Structure 1
Amino acid sequence: MKLSRYIFSCCLLILSIFMIIPSIMAQTPVVYKIPVYKEVEKGLYAFLKRSINEAEEAGAEAIILDINTPGGFVDSAERIASLLDSTSIRTIAYVNSEALSAGAYLALHADEIYMSPSGTIGAAAVIDSSGNTADEKANSAWKAKMINAAELTGKDPIYAQAMADDTVDLPKFRAPVGKLLTLSASEALQVKYSKGTVSSLKELLEATDLAGSKIVETEETFTESLARFITNPIIVPILLSIASLGLIVELYSPGFGVAGTMGLISLVLFFFGHLVAGLAGYETIIIFIIGVCFIIAEFFLPGGISGILGVAIIIFSIILAGGNIVQMSIAVLIALTVAIVGMVIIMKFFGKKQTIWNKIILSDATTTEQGYVSNENRVDLVGRVAVTMTALRPAGTIRVKDERIDAISDGSYVDKDKHVMIIKVEGSRIVVREVLEGEEIK
């Protein structure tokens, strides 16, 4: 009896523990720490989208953006900022080293900003692909976005404007007219852009009343890292150039070799990276395949329309996959230029001919150099004597032994049944003259 009571008590204790554990775990807040490193570009958006979705599904108390970036691309920064604005989870930007340009814009879209002692934030002017300041239209739009980002969280917008506009005069912060504003940790705290300066994640959790939280650190997967590299606007035109040049070289090579393989791999990487980054859908691949089918059809259809249409469809699919029409158009233009230059070099300096067309275009020729003639050249008849079977006026027919031959006189009329001598043979043209009386016939 005592033993059964003991067993029952143990089971009740174990059951109580299992009931208490979930409630204890539920009371422990979960905080997601998401790294925002390197350049702000399209691949980063895909990684942050996945991480924020995971945080929302886990019911996270807060998201800490561990920022250390020199900036990046405006369109990518805007998409990431929309992600931050749309989540209901508390977002904290921790400027661990620097949040410059697009990085500053992302930090301003967080609910709170904290900085490390060596952290800096600012210098957010728009730079074009040549490294120069963008035109007034682009700068004006970007300044408005920076101001709106500051106002969104109740910050004084003058400092956000000064980060993007060098006409704002803030000499107190080493940003007179002509220089963009970059705030140190103490200066950001002074102007209330930062809520505090902390040296570690532990201090940050204590400052934000999240001490004791369970920290979940998200990391990029290999495919996400690869996608970030592939979708970088600097890498995209290089990939497309390798693809176009590789396929052009393959047109001049027998079989399918290294150049063609490199071209196909480059195209596969391009679409793979943009699929992972969430910029392209499977419809772009379908459009690309349709373009390839049109080009193949050109081998069997006359006119060239199918081939031109196929190339246009492929270019459209590539531009569609890139997300940013302007950037992708530039990348495609660079790739086409490389392909054209490569084609000219191969044809002009290496004297190559496109071997791929040999299977569908008749290239054989029956030339004299190869021993072909349109008619048999009967030079063995020169000097032979024949009899005219018809009058030569000046053309007619002669007989050499038992062979009938068309001939032409050297200009004079020759009657039928006269002896003539063959004096010239030029292909099918046989010239004769009449044998005069008393002339010896051989």
Structure 2
Amino acid sequence: MRLISATALLQAGIIFLMPSLLVAQVKDETATAPGEAPNAELARRPFGQFVTIGNQVDDQLVSQLTNLTRELQTRAVREKRQAILVLEISAGSSRQGQIHDLAKVLVSPELSNVRTVAWIPKTLDGNHVILALACHDIFMHPNAALGDIGRGTALSNVEQNFVLDIIDRGRNLRMSRAIAKAMMDPASAVMRVSLEDRDGKVRQQFLTATELRELQNQNVVISQTDTVKDPGQPGLFKGSEAASSGFLVAATPANRNEVVATLNLPLEAMREAGSNDAKVVARVIAINNVIDKLLADFVQRETQHAVADGANMIIYDIDCPGGDKEHSQHVASVIAELDPAKVTTVAWARKEATQAGALVAISCDRIFLADDATIGNIDLKTMRLNRGHRLAPADVAPEELQRLLTLTDSIARRKNRSISLIRAMADPSLPVFEVTQKESGRVAWMNELELAAQPDEWVKGAAIPEAGGGKLLVLTAQRAEELGLTEAPCHDLEQLRTRLGIGATADLRPASKTWVDNLVTVLNSGLAGFLLIVIGLICIYLEMHMPSGLFVIGAVTSFSLFFWSRFLGGSAGGLELILFILGMSMLGIEIFVIPGFGVFGVSGILMTVVSLVMASNTFSGMTATESFEQSMGSLGSLAAALMVVILVAAVLNRFLPSIPFINRLILTPPGYAANDPEGLQLKPSLLSRTTVSGPISVGMVGTTASSLRPTGKAMFGDKYVDVVSDGAYIDHGTKIEVIRLAGNRIIVRSANEATEA
């Protein structure tokens, strides 16, 4: 008869003594000896590092983690402290070879001073589960589940033996072979057995059905047997249930902040270790005034440019006492939505991060305050501006406050910060209490509603004096660190450079707003864009009727300013400019080269309109409905601009001949009479033109040989000549009159119009 392994018995014997073992161990490691200074306690505090393992484990990640674990081990030995490596593991479908290689790295005996912790925020199945089983401890969200390595099918014997070898090393004392077998084979059952020893003490084991029968054959006293997993079901175990039953899971934190608090790590440990760590490319953006539209656009523009330039860290240098509520919330959303795996955002408050400044600060991944700086007081009543000037405080509508609280709650969850503390900065009626978790002794800060949702898990303590009672939460640098909102204060930028690991030669001069930024913001407004389009089209119209080159310069300048401002504003790129140039080129070909109006004309108009609509909007992050509404708004603006141009053209066509100076640019106005001594007289050389078909002069009458739309063919005598109508459509076979000669163009109009005039 095969006996149960000694390792399995050892694991099962102590498995129910483990719920608070990890916390107790951390406390013992950081406890201060009698007479020892607090700084000595801080020096013995463990240090840690987070690493996210996504849906694909490749050779590069294995190499990166191998180097990282060696660095942690070396530092732990040098500083005589424990290193903790936290792996946030997501489900994936990596190759078996890479999973095995990484698991071997994690269980290497060389890492004697590195404790590995698997953090499972969401349900995890597949072969990535093996990485969690290779760690010393497993932290799971209460609602997450872990297991089902084969995803409904049993693993091969070779694969099962590899996993069982990891379990037999005894790294995770809450793990047993029976639980591992259930994860690898749906046909395996798991029984929880209560055993009574000779002294009457009861201990529990987790066994397979085969192991249970073997135990029964040994005449061991079994007081109770429960089924944890039936055969045929996937071996997937929920975090809260596993923790309450005392197996697999060491703790059930809800977010990274709670993981850090449970492990007694500094907040700096939450910074991701990635391929960018070897070279920090930092950019500094100054927010040193009230946040109005100009500053909000500047911050968004500089943030986009920093990301596009390859920066993996953006430092927001904040000295901001207030701002407009709408623009401040927009800036906070832009910063909060940056991918922390690619760009680390850092808030650095020299003096004041209150009101709008606090909203920006809490949106960053890391917050550093100067020694005398404060943070908090997000007061909507005073966050009111008009053209950069503060308005008097005004009452806040409940829906406005709720919209702000929804945003702050979302940011707090995204950045793993206390929701209650952040809410208390905006809600003066919200008291916040210090609470203690019953099982682990971890301290947190919650409001009444949060406590009511989990009454059996937390012990309510005293309310913090800074919040509630009609006052908004405002914290000093030291107090904010105590409450876990910020990291340890920094004296100056050089100390911040050191803390962030930025090279001594890196340029940290902040990007500040200039007159160019103000100009770009003004030009990006709807009214400015409308006027630029109107001016550009009018200049084109004038150039076609009065060729001088001056109006070409005006049109080019107007459209250049339009696309330049949109490019810097982030709504236009190379595609929009190329479409516009192609569209205008096709229109030029249609007007000056190809008679009639066809494919080139229609294509040119469509390209021009599409380019202007695309350049006027940023569609990223919008729903289909929002994108459609934005497009319709831009089309409406273009239609309005075209109507204005038509109106202005009609006015100019009527009054241009009588406008001083301008009338000298006109070759021959409509209604010109050659024999009128009082009328406008032209140089004789301008009244006629010799073409390949013979002489053509102003006043000659001919017949259209094709439709004029507006270009086409006309017959003068027995000669065919290319002509251009003065704007109106003229049908085939209509009598026409030459009204002026412009360069190589012969401009005509219907003879009927001339008779009526």
Equivalent residues of 1:292, 1:314 under 8 A apart: yes
Pairing 1:180-199 to 2, within 5 Å after superposition: 183=474, 185=476, 192-195=484-487
- CA offsets 1:127-169 (integer angstroms, 9 cap, x no match): 99999999999997775443222123332224545667x7x73
Flag the 1:45–1:284 CA change in 2: closer, same or farther, 3 A: same
Q: Structure 1 residue 255 and structure 2 residue 513: aligned?
A: no
Where do residues 23-42 of structure 1 align in structure 2 (5 Å cutoff)?
Answer: 32=282, 34-37=284-287, 39-41=295-297, 42=300
**Distance verdict in 2 for CA 1:316–1:216, change over 3 Å:** same
Once the 2 structures are TM-superposed, how far is the Cα of residue 49 of structure 1 from its aligned partner?
Answer: 1.2
Output one character per residue of 1:30-85: Cα deviation in whole Å (capped at 9) or x when no partner: 7835124362334223332156x24x4xxxxx753313464747667545434352
Superposition deviation, residue 238 in structure 1:
0.9
**For the structure 1 residues 341 and 194, does the alpha-carbon distance in structure 2 shift closer, same or farther, using more than 3 Å as the test?**
same
Per the TM alignment, residue 174 of structure 1 is displaced from its structure 2 partner at its CA by 9.4
Deviation digits for residues 294-321 of structure 1 (CA, Å, limit 9, x no counterpart): 4335535656886566444323223323
Q: Say yes or no: does 1:314 pair with 2:608.
A: yes
Q: Out of 511, 521, 536, which is 1:246 matched to?
A: 536
Q: 1:284 aligns with which of 563, 568, 576?
A: 576
- Which residue of the partner structure matches residue 270 of structure 1? 562
2:632 equivalent to 1:323: no
Equivalent residue for 2:365? 111
Equivalent residue runs for 1:207-218 within 5 Å: 208=499, 215-218=506-509
Question: Could you tell me how far apart the structure 2 residues matched to 1:128 and 1:154 are?
Answer: 31
Contact 2:347 2:367 in 1 (8 A): yes
User: Is the 2:280–2:503 contact (alpha carbons within 8 Å) kept by the matching residues of 1?
Assistant: no
* C-alpha contact 2:314 2:343 (8 A) present in aligned 1: no
Whole-Å separation in 2 of the counterparts to 1:249 and 1:301: 23
Residue in 2 that maps onto 1:85: 340
Report Cα offsets for 1:322-353 as digits up to 9, x if no partner.
Answer: 42456676566446535533542553487257
Number of equivalent positions = 330
Equivalents in 1 of 2:747, 2:473: separation in Å? 66
Task: Report which structure shows greater RCO (CA 8 Å, sep ≥6).
Answer: 1
Q: Whose helix fraction is larger, Structure 1's or Structure 2's?
A: 1
Per-residue CA shift, 1:339-372, capped at 9, x if unaligned?
Answer: 53354255348725799964576226485699xx
Report what 2:419 is aligned to: 157
AA aligned opposite 2:318: I
CA, structure 1 residues 320+135, in 2 after alignment: closer, same or farther (shift >3 Å)?
farther
Q: Secondary structure at the match of 2:285?
A: strand
Write out aligned runs for 1:373-392 (5 A): none
Q: Is the 8 A contact 2:282 2:315 kept in 1?
A: yes
Shift of 1:255: 1.8
Q: Is the 8 A contact 1:237 1:334 kept in 2?
A: no
Counterpart Cα distance in 2 of 1:330 and 1:98:
40
For 1:49-198, list aligned pairs within 5 A. 49-50=307-308, 53-54=310-311, 56=312, 64-68=315-319, 70=323, 72=327, 78-83=333-338, 85-87=340-342, 91-96=345-350, 104=358, 106-116=360-370, 117=372, 122=378, 143-161=405-423, 169-170=429-430, 183=474, 185=476, 192-195=484-487
Contact 1:40–1:73 at 8 Å: present in 2 too? yes
1:341 pairs with 641, 644, 647, which one? 644
- Partners of 1:45 and 1:295 lie apart in 2 by 38
User: How far apart in 2 are the matches of 1:261 and 1:342?
Assistant: 18
Mapped to 1, the partners of 2:577 and 2:606 lie a distance apart of: 14
* CA-CA distance at 1:241 after TM superposition: 2.0
Alpha-carbon distance in 2 for matches of 1:357, 1:176: 79
Relative to structure 1, the CA distance from residue 31 to residue 284 in structure 2 (aligned partners, 3 Å threshold; closer, same or farther) is closer
In structure 2, relative to structure 1, the CA distance for the partners of 1:333 and 1:106 (3 Å cut) is farther
8 A contact 1:127–1:134 mirrored in 2:
no
Letter in 1 for 2:317: D
In 2, Cα distance between the equivalents of 1:290 and 1:221? 36
Relative to structure 2, which stretch is displaced further, 132-141 or 251-260? 132-141
Q: Secondary structure at the match of 1:323?
A: coil
Question: What's the offset of the Cα at 1:112?
Answer: 2.2
Structure 1 contact 120–184 (Cα < 8 Å) conserved: yes
Distance 1:317 1:289 in 2: 9
Letter matched to residue 243 of structure 1: I
Verify the 8 A CA contact 1:31 1:213 in the aligned structure 2: no
Q: State the alpha-carbon separation in 2 of the partners of residues 73 and 148 from structure 1.
A: 15
Deviation string 1:91-127 (CA, Å, 9 cap, x unpaired) is 4311245657876554324232123546555357999
What is the identity, as a one-letter code, of the residue corresponding to 2:563? F
C-alpha distance 29-368 of structure 1, shift in aligned 2 (>3 A): closer
Calculate the TM-score normalised by the size of structure 1: 0.53
Query: Residue type of the partner of 2:365?
Result: D
CA distance in 1, matches of 2:607, 2:399: 32
Q: 1:192 to 1:243 in 2, by over 3 A?
A: same
Identity %: 19
Q: Does the 8 Å contact 2:285/2:314 carry over to 1?
A: no
Asked if structure 2 preserves the Cα contact closer than 8 Å seen for 1:248 and 1:342, the reply is: yes
Q: Is the contact between residue 349 and residue 373 of structure 2 (CA under 8 Å) also seen in structure 1? A: no
Change (3 A) 1:123 1:313: farther
CA distance in 2, matches of 1:271, 1:156: 44
1:342, 1:293 → 2: CA distance? 20
Change (3 A) 1:182 1:269: farther
Counterpart of 1:87 in 2: which secondary structure? coil
1:193 to 1:271, Cα distance in 2 relative to 1, 3 A: same
The whole-number CA distance in structure 2 between the counterparts of 1:311 and 1:333 is: 16
Give the Cα–Cα distance (whole angstroms) in 2 for the partners of residues 231 and 278 of structure 1: 11
Residues 319 and 246 of structure 1, relative CA distance in 2, 3 Å threshold: closer
The equivalent of 2:748 in structure 1 is: 362
Please list the CA deviations of residues 380-413 of structure 1 after superposition, one character each: whole Å capped at 9, or x if unmatched.
Answer: xxxxxxxxxxxxxxxxxxxxxxxxxxxxxxxxxx
Gaps of 5+ in 1: 1-27, 57-61, 371-442
Q: Aligned pair in 2 of structure 1 residues 29, 361: CA closer, same or farther (>3 Å)?
A: closer
2:396 and 2:604 map into 1 onto residues whose CA distance is 35
Q: Which residue of 2 aligns with 1:43?
A: 301
Aligned equivalent of 2:11: none
